[in-house]
Each structure stands twice: as structure tokens, then as C-alpha cells.
Structure 1
Amino acid sequence: MLAKSAEDFTREPTEEEQRALHSPRSIEVNEVSLERVWNDAEWCAEYRAGDEEVWFRDYGPRIEVVNREDESIAAALQIAAEKFGGIVMISGPAKFRARAVSLAAHLDIGVLEQDFTEAGEHEKGLIGAVEIEP
């Protein structure tokens, strides 16, 4: 799906997308092997590198970044770009947004502009088309 507006990022995942989220998966992102495991309690797919703690959670229309290292943010951006046609929406504290936008530019991932003056800043960092939430 190619995201064309902010509304595209708030839709509910399709049945096919939900099935895909529930299945375990190993992926390579930036030469790091990540494991995706479904978390029933959080109702999301969690990504982690080996036995490390959770890097980020995929809730369907948004990704919440738990580990705020650049490697984790970059991996979440790449998953988001894959899901949403190469364009992401980023929200969160200004420092997080600046880092995520810089990483997205380096990875050649498009970023949908947002006006944060009215909405204020979210406490969490979200990548939307995926939202990335630290």
C-alpha cells in the first residue's frame, strides 16, 4: 500500500496483514538478524535481535520504538517503509523526530510532513505509515 496522506496511516490492518503479523519471522535489516514474535498481551508483533530486549513493536498502523539506538530506529523505519510503500510519518519528541528524519533521509525513505504546532508533541516516538514511538 502506498500512503498518500496521514489518513492512510490510521486505517485498520487488513485480515491478510493481521495474519502476517501473527506469524514468526526472521528478517535481515542493516545486516542485523531480527526475530519477530507475536505478543498476545500487547496485541502486537515484537522485533528483537537475538536474546536482546525488544527493539520495536508493530501494532499494524504504527511502530513503537522501544530501543532508541540508531540501529533500532533505522530497522523500524525500514519495516515501515516496506509496509507503507516507502513513505513514513514520524511523531514523538523533537529530538527523536530529528534523528528519525535524518536516518530516513540516509536510507532514502520518504517522510510525510506533519504540523506539530497544533497537536503538540507525543511523548513516544512513532513511525507511522508507520508511527515509530520511542
Structure 2
Amino acid sequence: MFSKRKHLPTVALVGLPLVGTCVGVALGAIYPPRNPIDYWPTIGFLGAGFAVVGLLFGVLTWLWMRGRVSAVVALSAIAIPACTFGWFINGKGGRWDNAWWFGLVGFIACVLFFVRSANLIANRDRDARGG
């Protein structure tokens, strides 16, 4: 058998971005833009965008499984782009009551991310000094 820990970086850095690319291309094909000229740029941008989200998710999962970041930091880092996307789509569609909730959750995720990251850095510096 192969070691899961040894192959986790490969899955995180290659597998999840490929899955993200497939999801982005599928969304572009299912929901094409109104103007046919914009079809291929839309496919490209959605594929690349979801690949970056997959890469972010994969790297954070890998770091979390190695104990480098806490689950709260990893989940809030994933929630920030997800809430931004939800806020943008709902706001553009005129559904500001839904967009407000996405914005609130995204703001809380940002605050949580920065507070927990600062706490991790402070703990790392304290451990490096031996205290």
C-alpha cells in the first residue's frame, strides 16, 4: 500500500485544482453567457477561478492535516471567497436581503481568519523564544 501522508500533497496540489477546473467548465457550459462571443472567455475564467479555489482548498486541507493551521483558519479561509461570490451574485441579481447575509458571514470569516492567524503567529514566536 502507499502512504496517505506521502501522497496527500499530490492530491492537494493536483487533484483538487483539476476537480475545480472541471466544475468551472461544467458551470460555464450549463449556464452560458448571453453573448455567444463571451463563451470561451467565460469557460476559461470559470475553469481558472475554480482551479484556484481547488488549489486553496487543497493546500489548506494539507496544512490542516499536518497540523500547521487550525481547522478554524482553514474553514474561514475557504468561507471568504465563497461568501464574496454569494454576495456578488445575490447583489447583482437584486436580492440584497440574501446578499446582506453573505456579507455578514464573510465579514465574520475575515475577522476570525485574521484573529486566529495572529494568534498562531504569536504562539509560534513564543514557542521559538522558549516561553
TM range (shorter): under 0.3
Q: Give the structure-1-normalised TM-score.
A: 0.25
Structure with higher helix content:
2
Q: Give the structure-2-normalised TM-score.
A: 0.26
Structure with higher strand content:
1
Q: Compare relative contact order (CA 8 Å, sep 6+) and give the higher one, 1 or 2.
A: 1
Larger radius of gyration: 2
